[in-house]
Amino acid sequence: MKNYTILAIESSCDEAAAAVYTTEKGILSSVLYSQTEEHTRYGGVVPEVASRTHLRTINSVVQRALEEAQVELSDINCIGVTNKPGLAGSLLIGLCFAKSIAWAQNIPIIGVNHLEGHAFSSCIEHPVPFPHLCLTASGGHTSLYLVEDYGVWTTLGTTHDDAAGEAFDKIARFINLPYPGGPVIETLAQKAGFVDYFGYPRTKLDGFNFSFSGLKTAVLYDLVKQGAYDMSTKRFIDQHNTQLQEQVSSSLLVCIGDIFSSTIERALKLYPQVKALTFVGGVACNKYLRSRFETVAHKNSLPLYIPSAKYCTDNAAMIGYVAHYKAQQDKFDSYDLDIHI
């Protein structure tokens, strides 16, 4: 095995992240600058704000990653950087910064698919066996993969519209909850006992694809029917109706839990050779949904691997991990590497 000290950079959306990964010791540092505070006032990520913040913070984030890893830039012999998919402006800032370092240091560069980073993030801390089924769920993506080896993964299904995390954020706005919606919805759902009060529809598509736009619309129409949402002003009418907020949150989580569980169960019937399940992405921080996965895994006598919270949300450690096994396979890119949104 060749020895690499990789500087990884992730800037696909609103998080600026850098990490150092080495062949001998794995992750030496993982630094993140979160823009949540900047975007909260808008109720979601604003691409222009994200790009400008990346410009202001990317250099300091990379410097901190090097300092925490106790390495110099001269010790780095490969750059790994997210180049797809994501917001164009955000991706460009990270990629241009990475290419500048690679060119100046005369070292190779590797473009990493952000989704591949998530798909293999569970492998950072756990010896996950192959093949396994991986569900990745975040604000931008919800997909099911069959992962057969390092760098060998097949998309079995993906969302046709909204991602699960995106549905959380949009429905949170319907019931006057702050951004990001996921953590608040989980807290309120717990107070309501994780009971399905309203029976929202479980959208079923061909194969293993997902759709959360219909769920979002169903919640909205149900709120209007109850007289709790004004379509003309687009506002939750009774802002102090915490009981309704809790019940909507609870029903929503149970619904998404059912969708995830049934999809995994169907996939296991078609791919009985899988040896494990993994649940990754920002939504994998949700304790209720994790418990639903644990139930499916136990029922099918399979181990379940979920990354630590710091590796569930967007981070550069997962980009460094993927870049490392690509480097071992000599899968380097030229300095003409470009973004793909």
Asked if 94 and 163 sit in the same domain, the reply is: no
- Average pLDDT taken over every residue of the chain: 96
pLDDT of 20 over the 90 cut = yes
Asked if residue 149 belongs to a known ligand binding site, the reply is: no
The response to whether 240 counts as a known ligand-binding position is: no
**137 a known binding residue?**
yes
- Is 132 among the annotated ligand-binding positions? no
Model confidence at 240, pLDDT cuts 50, 70, 90, reads confident
pLDDT of residue 272: 97
Co-location of 41 and 163 in the same domain: no
Q: Is 126 labeled as ligand-binding?
A: no
What is residue 261's predicted lDDT score, i.e. its pLDDT? Answer: 97
- Is 140 assigned a ligand-binding role in the annotation? yes
The Cα-based distances of 151 to 115, 145, 325 in angstroms read: 11, 12, 8
Are 132 and 97 in the same domain?
no
Which residues span the domain enclosing 143?
A: 128-306
- Can you give the pLDDT at residue 239? 76
Question: Is 54 labelled as part of a ligand binding site?
Answer: no
| Residue 314, annotated as binding a ligand | yes
pLDDT number for residue 41: 87
One domain, residues 212 and 88: no
Residue 107 and residue 206 share a domain: no
The Cα-based distances of 72 to 33, 106, 150, 317 in angstroms read: 21, 15, 29, 18
pLDDT digits 0-9 by tens, 176-217: 999 999 999 999 999 999 999 999 999 888 899 999 999 999
- Distance CA(8)–CA(117), nearest Å, equals 11
Question: Both tokens of residue 123?
Answer: 């492998």
With 90 as the cut, is the pLDDT of residue 42 above it? no
CA 119 to chain centre: 9
Q: Is the pLDDT confidence value at 241 over 90?
A: no
Task: Specify whether 165 is located in the same domain as 223.
Answer: yes
- The CATH number covering residue 67 comes to 3.30.420.40
pTM of the model: 0.96
Q: What is the pLDDT of residues 50-92, one digit of tens each?
A: 999 999 999 999 999 999 999 999 999 999 999 999 999 999 9
Whether 278 has a binding-site annotation, put simply, is: no
**Is the model's pLDDT at 249 over the cut of 90?**
yes
Judge if 79 and 100 occupy the same domain.
yes
Is 116 annotated in some ligand binding site?
no
Residue 279's pLDDT is: 98
Q: Is residue 147 part of a domain?
A: yes
Q: What is the separation of C-alpha 71 from the centre of its chain, rounded to a whole number of angstroms?
A: 28
Q: What's the pLDDT at 10?
A: 98
- Whether residue 251 is found in the same domain as residue 113: no
Helix, strand, or coil here: 197? coil
Query: Are residues 138 and 95 located together in one domain of the fold?
Result: no
